[in-house]
Amino acid sequence: MFHRLLSKNRFFMALVLVLVFVASGLLYLNTVKRQATRDIQSTQERVNAPKPPPPGETAESGHWHGDVWHAEPHEAHTPVNSPALVQENFSGEVRGESAAVALVNAQVAAPNQEASAPTQETSARMQTFHEAHHAWREKYHELIDQYSQLNREMSEVFPKTVEEWKQYNANSEMWRRYNELWAKQAKIDAKLKALEQEMPSPPTQ
């Protein structure tokens, strides 16, 4: 009778231990999902956050073109080939002041052309970030699904009654299957933790 009582106690202790492991796995899975959601929301907020104006400026006094601040309103300039500037006298010669204004306009246009380069570069960096973050998120959710599936399989194969426990004790193949699932889940858990450290960060503006 003492041996029977001891066997039952061992069974219930082992059952409680495994249930604790399964519950811990479910709790960790929920924690990982919540953390992933917070990380994604935080990343999106950082990406969408407007860049503050430089010192001495306000949001109403200008705007950014990439990494270059432009004051508003833009000063209008007359095109080089405007009739108001390019006027020919009766002899067909262009007045000297038109050539001078054309030179000034060319000098003003050059920085504006250069200012468009940072905007294109920033857009390219953001596009690269979004593609990398999308690939990372798909891989992360794939591992989460695998972890959940293994957790369900472990719960199904583990003995829940005394009779099932006796069958497990008499069948080493069942224990081998359970240990195999446990080892696979441990590997996925390690991959999840490593992948969390590799989450892409948005480019700095």
Instruction: Examine the pLDDT at 152 and tell me if it is beyond 80.
Output: yes
pTM: 0.44
Query: Is residue 196 within 8 Å of 188, Cβ to Cβ?
Result: no
pLDDT in tens, 154-197: 888 777 788 887 877 777 787 888 889 889 989 999 999 998 89
Query: Is residue 140 within 8 Å of 36, Cβ to Cβ?
Result: yes
Angstrom distance (rounded) from CA 202 to CA 129: 6
Q: How many CB atoms lie within 10 A of CB 140?
A: 21
**Confidence bin at 203 (pLDDT 50/70/90):** confident
pLDDT in tens, 132-147: 999 999 999 999 999 9
Q: What pLDDT was estimated at residue 101?
A: 44
Q: Write down the residue that tokens 């004790």 correspond to.
A: 169
What ranges do the domains of the chain cover? 128-205
Buried b (16+ CB within 10 A) or exposed e, 177-198: ebeebeebbeebbeebeeeeee
pLDDT in tens, 71-113: 655 444 444 444 444 344 434 444 444 444 454 455 545 555 5
